[in-house]
Each structure stands twice: as structure tokens, then as C-alpha cells.
Structure 1
Amino acid sequence: MMGDGVKQILTKPIQLADQVTKWADETHLFKQECMEVKAKTERLAALLRQAARAELYERPARRIMDDTEQVLEKALSLVSKCRARGLMKRVFTIIPPGAFRKMCIQLDNSVGDVSWLIRVSTAAADDDFGHLGLPPIAQNEPILFLIWDQIATMITGSLDARADAAASLVSLARDNDRYGKLIIEEDGVGPLLRLVKEGRVEAQENAALAIGLLARDPESVEQMVLAGVCSVFAKVLKEGAMKVQAMVAWAVAELAANHPKCQDVFAQHNVIRLLVSHLAFETVQEHSKYAIPSKGMSIHSVVMANHAAVDHNSMPVDGPEQSQMQHPCGNQSQNSKNQMHKVIQSTMATNSSKTQSNATGTAGGPKHQQNASLNGTSIKGREFEDPATKAYMKAMAAKALWHLAKGNSAICKSITESKALLCFAVLLEKGADEVRYNSAMALMEICRVAEQDPDLRRSAFKPTSPAARAVVDQLLRIVEKAEYDDLLVPCIVALGCLSRTFRATETRIIGPLVRLLDEREGMDVKEATVALTKFACTENYLHVDHSKAIIDAGGAKHLVQLVYFGEQAQIPALILLCYIATHVPDSEALAQAEVLTVLEWSYKQAYMVQDRTVENLLHEAKTRLELYQSRSSRGYH
């Protein structure tokens, strides 16, 4: 930012100023005017020498010195003409009227510019200076010089002045993209990051907010990553005040959303682990690990296991509300799990004094070391934060994990190997609105990656995993509730992406998704149709079982209506209907719903068969249905 590099550009202006002063004493024409130019030049030279002794802010220094150098060259040329000797030289020396007046104005402007540069570089620490104003050179670009002023204040100003300067940059970055670009181009990221590390809480918040606002495109994010934003954010997430940590988590989400390539850099700085730690704080017990209870395990054995080792699957509960949550087919396993949660909760009080010793005394290896470091991420004192700050911290941690997980298998693996899945399940049920939405979006992105990554799918969402079961239970609860809110679509998408993880005996997923097809419009229906297609498509090993389940849930008649009148869901409904007709062509329900007629009608609609894949699916489904339904139709008569 400020250094000796800019002093080299002061050499020529100082030399020019000395030359103007010397030649002004040697003039024969316009003596009085030249003395006035000399006086102003001497004042400018003194300021230039003062600037040479100071640590200058490089970006405006180069701009101002270039302009000052041009002014001094013009002054030297003007004074040189007044040194003419001899009658002929004097006769042919032409000096336009007003030239001296114009030169004096330019010199005054240069004095103002250099004076501003010195003050903005060195005097911002003195609160008595207040707002420095803008130099004359800033007439054409006032915003640029205002940005320079604020950046310099963040470097040399008092703690309060730095906080105000960061807040001003926040306002500028919010105004439009160009101002944000200028802040980055004028080396504003470094001072903002230093303020995030060293400022007061308010200044740290403003600086983190400004960095998040500046992250509007990949190029801007790339420059901030090169400036060290990842290491600074990791340090704050580990040791900072919770309000600052929450703002940093939001900024991480913004950077990752606008430049996914920075995901891995954040992961290298342990940001994933730190975010999960914040998500887990007061959500699940700090050192919980996942246990897989056997079907015959008694409640007494659960309590004894809880006393004997680290708490397993310690999901907090809210009394009777949890036990009243119901699922299709009775869901006895869920009721059993709720009962276990109550027992574990009742023993937390007696175990709380043992939790630390259990964590440090457990035989360890890498997993033990990771838990120990989790406990060291500034947990002390966090319990005294106000509830709103805690909720906002969780919401921003979930949002950051959402954007970091998007399309990244390695990060998704890291998240799912931690306690994050269990945290998301708890927050989906009990969190505030923003926490629930961000948790749902994070789960959706993880499930999308798992759909394409068999290893992740098998490790994170195996049916025996308590955390995976908890996630599916909560996703299904929201889909069953079927309210028109922001949670529904991500939960539908997540269930669809997990379609290959469900066994044939898992019958409770299809029904709620099929019910969404009935008398609903917009994205909900489309996403429900797409999700069901992932169950019924040929790539799903259990496609026949799932196709039958969709028919049994009444899906045929809904899909027929959607193919005719579904608008956004029309093509997805046709694709799903084709898969079902191909896999279960002898279904009586398909015959009664006149699916063959629907497929024949669709085949004649040019806009519905533009895609070659859809056309092939339609042709195969129609062929299969013609064979089986023509045979079965004879049995009806």
C-alpha cells in the first residue's frame, strides 16, 4: 500500500520545481508574474520534499505526481520564454493573455493535490482532521478519491475512524458494481482484511460485510483469495467474536457462490470443520459420534452405553412435540428413536461434567484429534451470546456450507463425515426460518453431489446410518406437510437425489411425492415429478418396484392430467409416465387412466417430441403399452 516505491516518482517533480524557481530569478519579461509563479512553485516544492519524507499511499500518489509533473513542465516552459534576451527574441516571444493566471491556478491545484496526499497518507490517525475533503484533481472522478480517502483511513486512522471508513466502503460497494471494482483495484482488500483481524467488533463486521459485497464475480473473488482472505476468515471463525464470525460465514458463502473454485482453498484452511463446529454448538452434543443401535437394544442398555462412552446420536428434543411426529406405516423405528433421545437427554445433565474428560480420555488417533480441535474453536463464552446472534451464526454457517458443498465431492465427504448431517436434521425441525432454509439448501446440494458420486452416496446415506435416517425423516416430514414455503422444493429435490439409497421395503417416500402432483402448480409439481422420475428411471435398480409404488399411490391419473394441462410440468410428467408405462405395461391402473391414449396424443404434439430422448422414451412406452393393454382390454368385455 504505502512504501518507498513511490518516492522514485517524486524525483523528477522536485527537480522541475527547483528549475522553475531558478529560471524565474533569471527572467527579463513579465518579472512580477514570474515571481508569483516562483512563490507558488516554492510552496509546491516544499510539499514535494515533505511528501518524499512520508510514507505515501501509492495509488493516488502516482496519479497526483503524474499530474503535478505535467504542470511543472508547463510552468518551466512559460518561465523559459520570459528569459529571452535581445530585441528579436523578445519580439517573437509570444505569451498568450491569461497564461500566467492559468498557470497560477494549476500550481494552486497541484499544491492542493499534494497537500491532500500527505494528509491522507499520514494524518488520518488524528481525529481532529475529520473528513479531509477531496483534492482539486478529483473533480472529474470524485468517487475514486473518496475511495482512496476511506482506504487510507483504514490504514492510518484511529479505531473509530477505521470502523467508519469500512462502513463507508460498505455503502459504496452496495451502490453499484463499478464502485466495488474500484475498491479492489485500488488495493482496498488488504486494509479490509487487516481490519477483520485487528479491529473492534463493529469494524470487523463492517470489513467482513464489505468483502462479501465485493465478491460479485470470479475475478474479484480470485483477487481476494490471493490477498489471503481464506486464512484471515479461518482465524476469525476459530477465535473471533460470534457476531464477526457470523458475518465472516456470510462472506464465505458469497465468495463460494460467486467463484466455486475458491471452495477447495477454504477447505485447505479448515473452514469446513470450523463451520460445522458453529453449526453443532448447542445443536448436538459437542463430542457426539454416531451409534447404530440394534433392533433388540433396550432403553436401559442405551443409558448404560451413554454412561460408558462418548454420547451417541445425541439429538436434542423438545418434549412431547417430537414424540407426536408421525410417518406413514406407523414408523415404529422412529418412535423408538424418539424414546431413545428422551432417555439420552435425561442423562445429559449428569454426563455434562464428564463430557470433557471423556473427549480427552478417549483413545484417539486422527478422529480424536479432530474433536479436540473442534472443542478449541472459541467455544468458551459462546453460551452467553444472545439467542438472536446464535441463531444468525447457525444460519450463516449453514449458508456457507451450502455454497461450499455445491458440486464439490471432497467437501461433501468432509461435511458428511462430521456431525453436520445430524445438525441439519435437527435444525430443519427446530431452527428459525433462515436456519431451516439454509440447512435445506445445504442438504439439497450434498444430495445432488451424492447422486453423482456412488462412494459418497454409500458412505453418507447408507440406510443403517442414524444421521442419514434423521435427515430423511425431516425431509419427508416437510414434504408430507406440503406447505407452500421455501423449504418444500429443496426437500423434494434432496429426496429425489437419494432415490438410489432407498430399499424396496422403504415405502413411505413415494406417497407424499405423488400427493404433490394433485391440484398444485408451479415448481412444486415440476420438482416432485422430476424426483419421482429418479425413482422410476431405468438407471434405478429398483425401478419396477418404484413404478408400481407410484401407480399404487394414484400417480397415473395425476400424471395424465399434468401431461394435458401441466404447463411447466408437462414434459417431466410425460417422461415419468413413459418410464412407468415401460416398466409396468400390464398395469390395470394405466389402462383405466387411458395412458395409451395420452401417449398417442403426445406423440402427435411436435413441441413435446423435439428432444430425441423424449421421443425414444415415448416410442418405447407406447409400443409396450399397445402390446399389454390390447391383450388386457379383451378381458374386460
Structure 2
Amino acid sequence: MGDIVKQILAKPIQLADQVTKAADEASSFKQECGELKSKTDKLAALLRQAARASSDLYERPTRRIIEEMEHVLDKALALALKCRGNALMKRVFTLNPGAAVRKVCSHVENSIGDVSWLLRVSAGDNGGEYLGGLPPIAANDPILCFIWEQIAVLHKGSVEERSEAAASLVSLASDSERYGKLIIEEGGVGPLLKLVKEGKGEGQENAARAIGLLGRDPESVEHMIHVGACSVLAKILKEGPMKVQAVVAWAVSELAANYPKCQDLFAQHNIIRLLVGHLAFETVEEHSKYTIVSTKPTSIHALVIASSNNVHRDNHTDQNPTRLGERPRNLHRVITSTIAMHAATKQGNESNEQVNHQRNNSHSGINLKGRDRDLEDPGTKAKMKEMAARALWHLAKGNSSICRSITESRALLCFAVLLEKGTDGVQYNSAMAVMEITAVAEMDAELRKSAFKPNSPACKAVVDQVVKIIEKGDSELLIGCIKMIGNLARTFKATETRMIGPLVKLLDEREAEVSREASIALTKFACTENYLHVDHSKAIISAGGAKHLIQLVYFGEEMVKIPALVLLSYIAMHVPDSEQLAQAEVLQVIEWASKHSSIAHDQTLEPLLLESKSRLELYQSRAPRGFHKLHFHQ
């Protein structure tokens, strides 16, 4: 950068020398020109000092200051040259000849102030005080000057000063999107990443937090990726202190959320593996894919299955293997037994100390000493899991390859455990991560079959916890869990109906959003695309779904009416001979809806209404009765 700054300074130094010479040769307004010469000499001396220290100068303010200074020196030179000839002066100065020279002198004085400030800032020489106040160039935009100063401190300051500068940038980025843009434009990302990589404790946290806050839009994130953010963040997730790692995981989640194209770049830097490692620490052990293989490799999946079957046999609850969606009786026992069996398998080849060390470190690729991680306080460990889950949530969104990597690890089993006993933040982020993975699986048959196959203990464990949350019905996790079950609708067998009842119950929920999502989820069970749509439709009817849906069609909010009517149409289409539908007068409801202007013109709904009406007419009477009669005359 020193050579670039020297080139920038070359022209103003030459201009300053020319102004000095022209002012010295002036034949008019000698006193004013003498002042101009004096100030320009001082400016030239500062510029030469800056050129000698070019390697230390902060380029961004240097460019801005020099650009402004060149305009000033151009004007000063033109005026000094005119002062050399008397004949010309009468045409040049029509009002106050001395005022023009004094005005230029004032501008040169401002340039002196700007260069003096630049030298102090670039050297980090503040004498323990504020860096000389605002330079004249920043009079109209003091925040820009403040940003320059903080970035300069990041380049040259002590460890404590750099930490404070990063904290100041965090504050600015939090306050305004414009300030965040300025920090990026003025070259703040590079020194922030350097502080994340090489700093200590609080300074690293502040810098990582600033990186996350600055990544508010695709352009900003792309800039960070280009200057090496992926490798720096991956290094910290592998080797840094856990408090710093938690902030870094949050920053990764922000960058991925605001620029999904960077997901694969993060994956290429092994960040998925590292995040899963943090998630699994003191939760469950990870998949053998991420471990050092022992001389007697044992499938953890097989151990989980064996343990699960043993538990079921011990409890005498079911002689058949557990199917997807059926509740394991003791999730903790399954997991504990699995881990114990896996540890016993490895014990023949390794000492207890090595096993512990590998469990805590080698499995995840994290190079921290096991003791250091074990000694972290519970709050820090919980925060690390919360942020790791958040990062996996945003990295998995819409990305099949990353979802596959996550589901091939022990992440699903981790999510099941954390949904049950994690802190609020951990539970929420885990639920959102699984929701995004299942959303991808819904569209990706290969992922759905591999990750959510009926004999997968991890999937059973996740579904168990999700159904519990839906049954409870009053959690902030509810919407995500409803969507999750809907996404998996095509994986459930005809006999796996325990999630149908709780979803039907939510149709009677007071909150319109909950009823809407429950309708959408149940539609994925009852729609024609689901191979078991007839069985699922019958289960919905048996759970009392028709009555709730009719209520929503008639009296629900606008956001609920269409989803409820779509579900009702599918049920009527697939089970038109249902006596319960006949008693609920579903045919009359569909006829009424077909005539309702706001509903009938929905292009996706119209063919469903026609088909379901046609099917129902074969089995049910059109005569309106009872409760619905009033509505058909509206």
C-alpha cells in the first residue's frame, strides 16, 4: 500500500511547490500572496512527511483528503499566477481583490489540518486522548471521520485499543445501515477479520460481532467473502475460545441468512462439521464420519437401533420395530445406551483418557483441549449450542448438499435432545434448523429417503419431540414444528397417525396463523400427491377435522379460509362416502364456497372445489339442513 500512497501524494506535492513559486513571484497583493506562500510551504512539508511515512498511512482518508486538496491547490496556483501581472488584475478582481487570496489561504489552512490529522491517526499517536478532534474535511460528516479513526486504531492500536475500536464499530453498525456501509467502504472488514484471527478474548468477540452486523445484504457479505471471511471464521470455530466461537457462529448465521450463495463456501471450509461438533459436545457423540475410526468399526446407527429395540423389549410395549412417528418410550435411555455401547467398543483399543479426548475434540475437528471445554461455564456452553444451531439453520435453508451433510452426522439426534432439554434459545434454533432440513427433504426425494427413513432412530427421536410440542400447543416453537410435520407428511405410514389428532385440534386454535399452518400441514397428508392420502383423510375425519374446517371456512379470518377450504376439498374428494362428512353437510359448504366471489376466483382452489363437489354429489344429499342453512342464502 505504501507505493500506492506515494503515487497519490506525488501530484499535490508538485502543485504545492508550483504555488509557492508563483506566490513568491507575485507583483500584486504581495502581503496576501506571502501568507499563501507560507501556508503552502507548511503544507508541502507535511505532504513530504506523509510520503516518507507512506507505508503507515491509512489509504481511504488519504485518498479523500488528497482529492479535496488538489482542488484547493489548483485554485491557489491559478490565483497566484494571476497576481504576477498588473495588466490582468483589473479583469480578474472586480470586487475585493484581497478577499479571493484570503479565501484560498483559508482552504490551504484546512488542508494543513487534514494532513496533520491524517499523520496522527495513521501513527496511532493520540497521547491517550481523542485523536486531535475532527479534521476540516469531516465537518459535514463527522461520523465518517470517527469511522476512519476507529479503523486506523484497528491497524495500529494496542490490544485494548483495537478491542475498543471494534466495539465502537459494533455500536455504529447497530445504529445505522448507512454507517455499516461506510465501515465496509472505508476498508474496515480486513482489520476486523485480522482482529478476529489474531486478537484476544473480548477483542475477538467485538470484531466477530461487527462482522455479523456488517453482513446485512448480499453485496456486503460478498465483499467479506472475497477478503477471506470464511477461512478466518472456520479457524476460530476450530481453535478459538468458546465465547468467541459462539459469536463467530452467530456471525456465520447472519452472513448465510443475508447471502445464501455463501452457504457452499462455508461448507467447503468444513464449517458444517465444526458446527455439528459444537452441537454434539456434551449432547451426544457424533457420527463415525467425523471421528477417528477404530480398528473395530461399529455403526452408531446400528447401536442406536439395537439399544432402541432393547428398550422396547424391556418395557414390553410393542413386539414390532418402532416405526417413524411412533414415540420411543425413553429417549434418554436410548441415547445413553448408545453412547455407552460405542464407548465400550472403542475401549479395547484406547485408554479412557484417549476416549474422552477424542469424544470432546477429535470427533468435531475442534483443536481445543478437552479440559478447557469441560471447564467452560454452563451459560457459555448453552450459548455455543444456541448459535451453532442458528448457523446450521441458515446454512441448511434451501441447500440439499448441506442438509445431507447435517443429516449424515449426529445432528438430528442432537436436535432431538436439545428440543427436549435445551434452553429456550437452543430449542428455538434447533426447531428452525430441523424445519429447514425437512423443507428441503420434502422437495428432495433422495434426501427424504436417506435422512427420514422409517427405521431411523434419530428421525423417530426428532418426531417424538416435535409431536410433544404440538400436543402442548402453547410454545413459540409451535409454528416451526407444525411446518416440520407437514414437510415429513409423505414419510409417515398409514398406521402412524398420532400427529393427526394434535394438528386437527390446532384447527380450533384462536390464533389465525396457527390454524392456517395446521391446515397447510394436514393438506400435505390429505393431498393427492401423498400416496396414503385416503388413509390420512380418514384419520383427519375421525379426529373431528370436518367440523373445525367448516367453522374456519365460514367464520375464520381471510388468511385461514382458503387453506381450510383446500384441506376440506381434498378430504371430500378422497372420502366422499364418509357419513361424518354427510352429517357435517360438507357438500353444502363446498357449494356455498363455489358461489362466494373471493373464494371462487382462486385459480388453485376452483378445480378442487369442482372435483370434490362432483364426488360428493354421488353419495350425499344437497338439501341444506340445520346450522348451515342460514349461510347458503347470503
Deviations 1:32-56 (A, max 9, x none): 3322222211111110000111122
Q: 1:332 to 1:200 in 2, by over 3 A?
A: closer
> 147-156 or 290-299, which moves further after superposition?
290-299
Larger CA deviation: 414-423 vs 150-159: 150-159
Determine if contact 1:360/1:372 at 8 Å carries over to the other structure.
Answer: no
- How far is 1:371 from its partner? 8.9
Summarize deviations over 1:291-329 as a string: whole Å, max 9, x none. 253599546999xxxxxxxxxxxxxxxxxxxx9xxxx99
Q: CA deviation at 1:204?
A: 1.1
In the TM superposition, what whole-angstrom CA distance separates every residue of 1:134-153 from its partner, at most 9, and x where no partner exists? 21111122222221111111
Aligned partners of 1:272 and 1:415 also within 8 Å: yes
- AA at the equivalent of 1:162: R
Q: Which residue of 2 aligns with 1:57?
A: 58
Question: In the TM superposition, what are the counterparts of 1:65-84 in structure 2 within 5 Å?
Answer: 65-84=66-85
Q: How far apart are the structure 2 equivalents of 1:527 and 1:92? A: 81
Q: Is 1:595 aligned with 2:589?
A: no
Q: Which residue identity does 1:119 align to in structure 2? A: R
Q: 1:479 to 1:251 in 2, by over 3 A?
A: same
Which residue in the other structure is 1:315 paired with? none
Counterparts of 1:345-356 in structure 2, within 5 Å, are none
- The 1:611/1:37 distance shift into structure 2, 3 A limit, reads same
The answer on 1:100 being equivalent to 2:101 is yes
- The RMSD of aligned alpha carbons is 3.0
Matches within 5 A, 1:19-168: 19-54=18-53, 55=55, 56-84=57-85, 88=87, 94=93, 96-124=97-125, 128=128, 130-168=130-168
Q: Counterparts of 2:208 and 2:620 in 1: how far apart (Å)?
A: 65
Identify which of 341, 364, 384 aligns with 1:374: 364
Please tell me the residue identity of whatever aligns with 1:99: A
2:328 counterpart letter in structure 1: Q
* Cα contact 2:43–2:108 (8 A) shared by 1: yes
Specify whether residues 414 and 360 from structure 1 end up closer, same or farther in structure 2 by C-alpha distance, changes over 3 A only. Answer: farther
TM superposition shift of 1:19: 2.2
Flag the 1:632–1:340 CA change in 2: closer, same or farther, 3 A. Answer: farther
1:277 corresponds in structure 2 to: 277
**Percent of residue pairs bearing the same amino acid type:** 63
1:14 is matched with 13
Residue ranges of structure 1 left out of the alignment (5+ in a row): 303-322, 362-367
Are the aligned partners of 2:286 and 2:410 in contact in 1 as well (CA < 8 Å)? no
Could you tell me which residue of structure 2 aligns to residue 518 of structure 1?
508
Q: CA deviation at 1:133?
A: 2.1
CA contact (8 A) 1:204 1:244 kept: yes
Quote the residue 2:547 is aligned against.
557
Measured after TM superposition, the shift of residue 159 of structure 1 is 1.2
Match of 2:527 among 537, 544, 547: 537
Kindly provide the CA deviation profile for residues 36-84 of structure 1, in whole angstroms up to 9, marking residues without a partner as x.
2222111111100001111221111111112222222222233323333
Q: TM-score with structure 1 length normalisation?
A: 0.87
Aligned to 1:194: 194
Residues 1:290 and 2:289 aligned together: no
TM-score relative to the length of structure 2: 0.88
Q: Within 2, Cα distance between the matches of 1:37 and 1:257? A: 56
Task: Quote the residue 1:335 is aligned against.
Answer: 329
Q: How do 1:70-469 and structure 2 match up within 5 A?
A: 70-84=71-85, 88=87, 94=93, 96-124=97-125, 128=128, 130-285=130-285, 289-291=300-302, 292-293=304-305, 298=310, 334-335=328-329, 339-341=333-335, 372=362, 374-378=364-368, 380=370, 381-469=372-460
Distance in 1 between residues matched to 2:518 and 2:170, nearest whole Å: 41
Task: Kindly indicate whether the alpha-carbon contact (under 8 Å) linking 1:586 and 1:632 is maintained by their aligned counterparts in 2.
Answer: no
Distance 2:456 2:400 in 1: 19
Count of residues in Structure 1 that have an aligned counterpart in Structure 2: 597
Deviation of 1:18 (Å): 1.7
Q: Name the counterpart of 1:4.
A: 3
Unaligned stretches of 5+ in structure 2?
Answer: 289-299, 625-634
Distance 1:116 1:477 in 2: 63
Contact kept in structure 2, 1:3 and 1:57, CA below 8 Å? no
1:287, 1:371 within 8 Å by CA — same for their partners in 2?
A: no
Residue 129 to residue 3, structure 1, CA distance change in 2 (3 Å): farther
Alpha carbons of 1:607 and 1:356: their partners in 2 closer, same or farther (altered >3 Å)? farther
Q: Alignment partner of 1:203: what SS?
A: helix
Q: Distance in 2 between matches of 1:355 and 1:442?
A: 36
Helix, strand or coil for the counterpart of 1:374? coil
Q: 1:564 to 1:283 in 2, by over 3 A?
A: same
Query: Any idea what the Cα deviations from partners look like across 1:227-277, whole Å, max 9, x if unmatched?
Result: 111111101111111111111111111111111111111111111111111
Q: Give the aligned residue type for 2:608.
A: L
Partner of 1:628: 619
Cα contact 1:402–1:441 (8 A) shared by 2: yes
Indicate if the aligned counterparts of 2:312 and 2:329 stay in contact, CA closer than 8 A.
no
In structure 2, distance between residues paired with 1:127 and 1:73:
35
How many angstroms does 1:597 deviate by?
A: 1.1
Amino acid at match of 1:290: H
* Distance in structure 2 (CA, Å) of the matches to 1:116 and 1:254: 36
Residue type of the alignment partner of 1:115: S
- C-alpha deviation, 1:338, in angstroms: 5.0
